[in-house]
Amino acid sequence: MISDQLIADLKSIVGEKGVIANPDELVVYETDGLSLFKHKPDLVVFPNSTEDVSRIVQKARQARIPIVPRGAGTGLSGGALPEKGGLVIATTKMNQILEIDLRNRCALVEAGVVNIHITNAVKKAGFHFAPDPSSQPVSTIGGNVAENAGGPHTLKYGVTTNHILGLEMVLGDGSVVWLGGKTQESPGYDLRGLAIGNEGTFGIVTKVWVRLTKLPQSYRTMRVAFSSVDDAAKTVSDIIASGIVPAAAEFVDFVALDALRAAFHLQIPPHTRALLVIELDGLEVSLDRQAEEVRRICERNNAIEVLLAKNEKERTALWFARKRAFGALGRLTPSYITQDGMVPRTKLPQMMNFIYQTAEKYGLRIANIFHAGDGNLHPCILFDERKEDEVRRALEASTDIIRKCVEMGGSVTGEHGVGLEKREFMPFMFSEEAMNVMKKIKQVFDPDNVWNPGKIFPPNDSHRPEITGKRKPAPM
């Protein structure tokens, strides 16, 4: 129960405009980027500093209410939604880049700094922040850390955890701790690594030391059309097997291409069933040779068109299909679920066939727009949320796809996190003993279970989904 006294206390910390308590205004915070879930908070508060966050947490603890961290709200698994009500702490006002140290290739930023703003601040000096989720123009670094976000270029550069040196976190009693720091290595347990990807269940990140990476000297960007989904999927494995590791290898299938044609009149060869956007980067002297080898591999796999950008304008144009594909799906459907399973990339042809069989089984269209280089799938299940039966079929199709990912040796999530959406899928991959170890780790950071309760773990382990297939639940 939210008391008038608590609202008054919070306003005394962040000011009158820093607290939202009006039910009509709270509706904005009941959902995230794309999940089906809606859970309205009781309060939303906007701190301006770590000190504000600490005081807010102390007040919330006294009131015995749940606390849910939230960045820009671009998450796709319901991780920032207050299923049990309570207080949402939104870090968007904590948006300062506090220090840039180019000699040591790092920067200190607040949790509410937008991902792309880090790169914009250092690119003239020849650096960038490498993790680039598709939400990069709006998502914030605190959320990226909480979800261990990925992106198109993580095939070569790695996900968020590979670019974080240390982080400041406020715990459930309001205490402030640093995990890791400015240096490359810290003695003792890697608590920094443990906290990255905790999805707001340990505490709330307030500051981060990020690693800065030198910009590549040059790029070669290619868009390749195929008349077969299998040929496109196999091409990715063949490129990497040749010893070439692209910076990105992105996949857009025929369902998404239909949407792009309708929305933007995308010009591609007739009979195209799949596009690959392949980007190579590095030293100028080596890229032409690599690009020619990639072209040969594509042609051996029956590519019907290979376009190579000659300049930055053409590079942007070749990326257009991948960058706009998700938005274009609105031309085909009023609603869609974006799933986030992962398989070994050699299994992509089999997995793609299974996804299309699943679409036929449930009478739904499924578009596929994903990071083919590391096998991180994003099947988009198209449906109408106004039709109860379609919602049911979409959820059942989603479950079948994630179960199959695990059976093929993959994972229930690649970069979107578990949140509310995939918590029932965790037993597909982990044994009860393994999940109990995870719960004990959460208790160390959050003994009172105030941080983002209900996330990651199935709400009732006695009703766990049946685990099928060759892959067994993994021990920790």
Q: What is the 3-state secondary structure (H, E, C) of 236-305?
A: HHHHHHCCCCCCEEEEEEHHHHHHHHHHHCCCCCCCCCEEEEEEEEECHHHHHHHHHHHHHHHHHCCEEE
> Angle at CA 52, nearest 5°, toward 50 and 57?
95
Cα–Cα distance, 253 to 434 (Å, whole number): 36
pLDDT at 185: 77
Instruction: Write the CA distances from 270 to 147, 225, 306, 366, integer angstroms.
Output: 39, 10, 14, 21
- How far CA 318 is from CA of 229, 291, 298, 409, in Å, comes to 19, 15, 16, 32
Residue 155, phi then psi, degrees to nearest 5:
-55, -45
Please give the Cα distance from 367 to 359 (Å, whole number).
9
What is the model's pLDDT at position 387? 95
CA torsion through residues 314, 316, 322, 328, sign:
negative
Measured CA to CA, the distance from residue 114 to residue 91 in angstroms comes to 11
The partner residues of 221 in beta bridges, in order of sequence, read 279
| Helices assigned H by DSSP within 80-167 | 115-122, 141-147, 154-157
User: Would you state the structure tokens that stand for residue 334, as one six-digit string?
Assistant: 């009023």
Question: Which pLDDT does position 156 carry in this prediction?
Answer: 95
Q: What does R_g of the chain's alpha carbons equal in angstroms?
A: 23
Determine the pLDDT at residue 462: 38
Output the pLDDT for position 476.
Answer: 34
223 secondary structure, DSSP code? E
**DSSP line for 389-419:** HHHHHHHHHHHHHHHHHHHTT-BS-SSS--T
Q: Can you give the pLDDT at residue 35?
A: 67
Three-state DSSP at 343 gives coil
Mean pLDDT, the chain cut into blocks of 10 residues (476 residues total):
93 98 95 85 98 98 96 95 96 98 98 98 98 94 97 94 98 97 86 97 98 97 98 97 96 97 96 98 96 98 98 96 94 93 96 98 98 95 95 96 97 94 96 96 96 93 37 35
10 Å CB burial of residue 25 (0-12, 13-18, 19+) is exposed
